[in-house]
Amino acid sequence: MKINAINEYRVEVELDAAEMERLGVCFDTLDWADIETRRALWSLLGQVRDAGVPVNPAGKLLIEACRLKNGIRLCFTALPPREKDLPLTCLKREEAASALRFASFADLLRGAAFLPREGLTAYRRGDTYYLLAPEPADRAALARAAEFGEPVKTAGLTKPLLEEYCIPLAL
């Protein structure tokens, strides 16, 4: 288990396949509504605290999950409680997706023409445009769309990053 304390409110935990099996978690079945998932994640948070990384989910807790080659990355973000907010725990699982970056809206439209419209989302940040195609995406269609842009590689979750830092666009 790799633990990376980003700040006092956020910690990333990487688990390999054996650790996931020991905890009884699987990326495809992670669901906060499932009592076994909740128990496993609370147990994992206890292990993180035992390792000396303080995580205090006294208020809202956001748990983001990302599939890795041989495991999973879980990002725990504990937000401090506010008077008007009710305690809430949320589990977000990134759906597999392929993202492309474009220099212009016209290039984005040209690239989008090669991909099926269903599940396709577009974003803008400044003068840069992004297209997110859900998996399983046709690799040949993605390659043709990438002729007008470039594939996006991120160290973390792609979709939540685009949703948080970009403006959604209608196609």
Of 105 and 92, which is predicted with more confidence?
Answer: 105
83 exposed, middle or buried (CB, 10 Å; 0-12, 13-18, 19+)? exposed
Would the pTM count as exceeding 0.85? no
Give the span between the Cα atoms of 23 and 76, in whole angstroms: 17
Q: What is the pLDDT of residue 30?
A: 84
Domain range summary for the chain, segments of one domain joined by +:
2-93, 97-169
Strand 2-7 relative to strand 167-169: parallel, antiparallel, unpaired?
unpaired
Domain 97-169 in CATH 3.30.70.1950? The answer is yes
CA distances to 43, 50, 117 from 153, rounded to whole Å, are 31, 33, 22
C-alpha closest to that of 64 among 151, 140, 155: 155
- pLDDT tens for each residue of 136-165: 667 788 888 888 988 887 655 677 778 778
Of 134 and 133, which is predicted with more confidence?
Answer: 133
Residue 47: its H or E element = helix 35-50
Q: What angle do CA 137, 141, 147 make, to 5 degrees?
A: 125
pLDDT at 99 over 60: yes
Q: What is the pLDDT of residue 86?
A: 47
- pLDDT tens for each residue of 157-169: 677 778 778 899 9
